[in-house]
Structure 1
């Protein structure tokens, strides 16, 4: 299940507001931006460049067991399950125009990087996995907290609603996977659709759990990573290794993982393992949900973030969960205490910079601090921060964050008199903005917000 945190994580929060859900997905019309530029055609990413898993095989084995044998609710899964034979995938419902090419791309990656026999279905009615696109409002009435979700033994949203509450959709009753439905909003941004395809397809065919401790994975409800990573592809390759079979228990899988990982990821054999990482207590997860909800006040979100941090420190965590707690502290204070927010963001960044996969999260901090610098008139600092973050975010294929960084970069260049560089960055930002934010109105709003920061910086 994917939660809608990523949208709020990309907001600039300088006004204390959370950006609204885009009203529509628009991909062909080209209108003028506030700067006078025409909105460029929608951009999309080409070749994926995922970094390989960079932790020890002992750590990865523990991660795989916790991903495979627990659900996001905390319920245990009694046995290992997967599809047998070729896997076919179909799109149904009100399919956005960007979905088919993005599906083709992720299936190609799964075949090439994870060795999985997966392809589009020739006959949608016989597909093993059906991705059903439905209006967001209808989805929220059924599952309010999910941006998209995956369900066993159904092929459509209608089938899910009919079977909901029965044992039909209970993952714990499966002994093998034969039919799975993925429900995705049809009225979402191209990037949100793509992100759902990556995470929900990976869960439909592989592990069902998410772990906040993972810095290098989409199997993490903080949603900083938006496309399948090298670690994720290794997990899927392990999931379909011939040494594993449907119906195995956790102990049986645990006994076979060391040999599987030694064969598939020999580089992980030479790395020292850290201490075993315990699961996050429910109180910390509840605090995360409260800290990142768009409802309520900044004060309430700050109290929840402080509970996150207190629990993280009591648990002795030094991993992604501690950094995420500091990030939540910073996010909750942006509109009230910029100095405290900056300190919290920097503390989170210092932790992320030493974690595999933490570079993307660190780039989020660079974006936020660059926005502060732009608003304060520290244009050279804003330029340096965005130039450091842009290559990282481009590799991570996060169009919304990339567009935001390029817009800040353009305004910083313009303020420094570098007009040619400013125009190039602004033009580059627009096509990515259309993929990341969806509607022309959302693109213009983001351009206007960042232009306003630069205006404040010049007059300060």
Structure 2
């Protein structure tokens, strides 16, 4: 369930604005303005890159527990073809993004899933059904305040969910054979956030219901760095729907079959034991959630980051969990701790680059370093850092990230007197920016934010 802010959302080491400041559509300024076509090209997800033995453990941890920590006793999934219906007023690019996702699920995960014909009525469909309903954010959060979007079993629409929200009918831990699920998505947010919701919530409707912060290569991770289903996720779903597994299996029964399945479907992951991550204490997860949350202000978030880093070091971790703790501690550090924060950020980048999928996190760190370099007038370094990050941003289809990097890069070009190149880059980035930030006003706010940093650097250079 997407409920934490994306920590790439603000620039600089010292602050992170709530996602709503840049991601929510402005009803007057942008809601009716046509959004330029954003085309990420042919899907090219980062591949599953860890040993199969590791991914077997991840499958079991994702598949037999809820995010809350509640255990799931029996394996569950849909049996047979799955159809997807859309209700509510689907905004802009949502249906095209949905079709792109369903094509990926067919091609990469081998799932028989498709749109229900437009003329068909969802409530009369006799087979397996996932309904995607678009609603005003305010209506959704009046019932589920903390959720940006979410998925519920055994209902077909919002009224059905509201009528049963305290009923055991919608308790995922009681579901064995899935037949119905409803995904609720806010209609009044950015195209990118809608797309991200579709990927994560339909992914959970089909497969695992848990999120693990240590999975830097998965959307089933509430740090929200991975915005679309990855190669790890598609391989997991392909295994999930393998004929060797059946609804109702126990954890031990599933565990007995997973090594053979992964070795067959992912031959290059054979023969390596991988790393055993060990238990992730709930206290560390809660500290990370506090650091990422938009509630409580900077002081409370900083306290969560400090506690998470302390716990990570106490555990002796040297993986993505320590890297995330270091990154958040650096991002939220007071300005008078800038040198220490920079060291923590560089250490986090090194750890992420050694983690599968962590190149995405490292690219975000490059963006923040580029901002610092821009503020100091180091235009060559800005161009180097943004050039390194841009291919990862584009490959993972993170339009907001692509646009932010382009705007930072444009300011560096302007610092070098290359104004025409800078203007062309800003113009070429508008499609990604509108898709990522949602409205002309939000795009302008992001451009202006970065332009102020560039202007200050030019003033400093002129002294």
TM over 0.5: yes
Confirm whether residue 237 of structure 1 aligns to residue 232 of structure 2.
no
When the two chains are superposed, the root-mean-square deviation of aligned CA atoms in Å is 1.7
TM-score (norm. length: structure 1): 0.94
- For 1:89, what is the secondary structure of its paired residue? strand
Contact 1:44 1:435 in 2 (8 A): no
**Offset at residue 4 of structure 1 (A):** 3.5
2:176 pairs with 1:181: no
Query: Which whole-Å CA distance do the structure 1 matches of 2:228 and 2:371 have between them?
Result: 25
Residue 160 (1) aligns with residue 165 (2): no
Cα 1:14–1:356 change in 2 (3 A) is closer
Equivalenced residues, count: 449
Aligned to 1:18: 17
Displacement of 1:173 after TM fit? Answer: 0.9
Q: Does 1:96 align with 2:91?
A: yes
Aligned to 2:453: 453
Q: How is 1:367-382 mapped onto 2 (pairs within 5 angstroms)? A: 367-382=367-382
1:407 deviation in Å? 0.2
Distance 1:186 1:335, change over 3 A: farther
Cα shift at 1:124: 4.1
Is 1:268 aligned to 2:263, yes or no?
Answer: no
Distance 1:429 1:15, change over 3 A: farther
What is the aligned partner in structure 2 of residue 36 from structure 1? none
SS in 1 for 2:371: helix
Conserved in 2, the CA contact under 8 Å of 1:67 and 1:210?
A: yes
Whole-angstrom distance in 2 between the partners of 1:298 and 1:175: 42
Note the residue ranges of structure 1 that are not aligned, 5 or more in a row: 31-39
Q: How far did 1:440 drift? A: 0.9
Compared with structure 1, are the counterparts of its residues 163 and 218 closer, same or farther at alpha carbon in structure 2 (3 Å cutoff)? Answer: same
State the distance in 2 between where 1:327 and 1:22 align.
Answer: 25
Question: Which digits, 9 at most, give the CA deviation of each residue in 1:194-217, with x for residues without a partner?
Answer: 000001111001111111111111
Indicate how the Cα distance of structure 1 residues 17 and 229 shifts in structure 2: closer, same or farther if over 3 A, else same: closer
1:303 to 2:298 alignment:
no
Q: SS where residue 150 of structure 1 aligns?
A: strand
Q: TM-score, normalised by structure 2?
A: 0.93
Runs (4+) of structure 1 exceeding 6 A deviation are none
8 Å Cα contact 2:15-2:331 kept in structure 1:
no
The alpha-carbon distance between structure 1 residues 219 and 17, as it changes in their structure 2 partners (threshold 3 A), is closer
Contact 2:77 2:206 in 1 (8 A): yes
Candidates 109, 114, 130, aligned match of 1:114: 109
Deviation at 1:28, TM superposition (A): 7.4
**Which residue does 1:35 correspond to in 2?**
none
Q: For 1:109-163, what per-residue CA distance to the aligned partner results, in whole angstroms no more than 9, with x for missing partners?
A: 0100111100001224126000111111121122222111110001112211110
Counterparts of 2:31 and 2:381 in 1: how far apart (Å)? 34
Counterpart in the other structure of 2:259: 258
> Residues 124 and 15 of structure 1: is their aligned pair in 2 closer, same or farther, counting only changes over 3 Å?
farther
**Matched residue of 1:60: which SS?**
helix
Displacement of 1:94 after TM fit? Answer: 2.3
Residue 80 of structure 2 is aligned to residue 85 of structure 1: yes
The equivalent residue for 2:433 is 433
Unaligned runs of 5+ in 2: none
For residue 217 of structure 2, give the secondary structure of its aligned residue in structure 1. coil
